[in-house]
Structure 1
Amino acid sequence: MVSSISHIALIVRDPARTAELFASVLGAQVVADWPDGNGHQQSCARLGGVWFLLRQGTGPSCRNGDHIALGVSRDELAVCADKLATSDVEHFMAREDTALYFMDYDNHVFELDAGRSFDDMLDA
């Protein structure tokens, strides 16, 4: 059976720029930039124990509700909100300020969730 998420791969126009967004807002560690052997650039970032592989290409043409949700504390949520306020990416607070949504440069949607976890809801 599956024990964890190994990595999440996203197609982005500029892998290094997206990796820098992850590093500056979320504290991700950018661990590599390298060509993939087919002429596409890739960046790899580690975020909360999960690898994000950012491969150069054309990302999604529109948003459809798919998103990646990351658990954070309320303090971390506030820090990230402050960082996003000075960035050039779309973002907004939701669910009584317990969730922060932001979009990268390629229509990928991320949620920072400081509310109840699914485990908490199942245990209730």
Structure 2
Amino acid sequence: MGIEAISHITFVVRDLDRMTSFLCEGLGAREVYDSGTRTFSLSKEKFFLLGDIWIAAMEGEPPTERTYGHLAFRITEAELAPFEARLGSLGVEIRSARKRVEGEGHSLYFYDFDNHLFELHTGTLHERLRRYEG
């Protein structure tokens, strides 16, 4: 027995409604649970499905500093501009992409409202390894 997959990803946020807007309107997630005023874990929380990925958002104190540590989702090249427009319309801060070498895909980096960095990326691990080896 070993690790099979990621079970879920949890983000601690100040405002659950704002995170709901970010995930649902910005990234296309679907809200599947809202604890309301009940607390089964450490604080009020909401669960979302983004594709098949379970994302939990818990009310609390988010990170105070921004780092390059991030969560990346794979998308197609054609989806980059529409995602950038949707996220920009929510007031999400889009970060300049890092310098890339030809063949490793394109990325859109952006922060949620609580200093979490996300990336939408068009490449795959196989493509990147092949490019780095060549």
- Do the two structures share a fold, i.e. TM-score over 0.5? yes
Gaps of 5+ in 1: none
1:120 aligns with one of 124, 127, 133: 127
1:41 aligns with one of 35, 39, 44: 44
Distance 1:110 1:38, change over 3 A: closer
Q: Which amino acid aligns with 2:6?
A: I
Matched-pair contact (CA < 8 Å) for 2:47–2:57: yes
Cα RMSD (Å)? 2.0
1:103 aligns with 2:106: no
Q: CA deviation at 1:41?
A: 1.6
The equivalent residue for 1:82 is 85
Percent identical pairs in the alignment equals 32
Question: Matched residue of 1:85: which SS?
Answer: helix
Matched-pair contact (CA < 8 Å) for 2:46–2:56: yes
Tell me the TM-score normalized by structure 2: 0.82
Matches of 1:46 and 1:7, distance apart in 2: 10
Distance 1:98 1:123, change over 3 A: closer
Matched-pair contact (CA < 8 Å) for 2:95–2:111: no
The equivalent residue for 2:29 is 28
Higher strand share: 1
The equivalent residue for 1:62 is 65
Question: Matched residue of 1:63: which SS?
Answer: coil
Question: Matched residue of 1:36: which SS?
Answer: coil
Question: Matched residue of 1:21: which SS?
Answer: helix
Number of corresponding residues: 123
The equivalent residue for 1:53 is 56
- Based on CA coordinates, which of the two structures has the bigger radius of gyration? 2
Matches of 1:108 and 1:14, distance apart in 2: 13
Question: Matched residue of 2:32: which SS?
Answer: strand
Q: CA deviation at 1:39?
A: 7.5
Q: Which amino acid aligns with 2:85?
A: D
2:76 aligns with one of 54, 73, 77: 73
The equivalent residue for 2:10 is 9
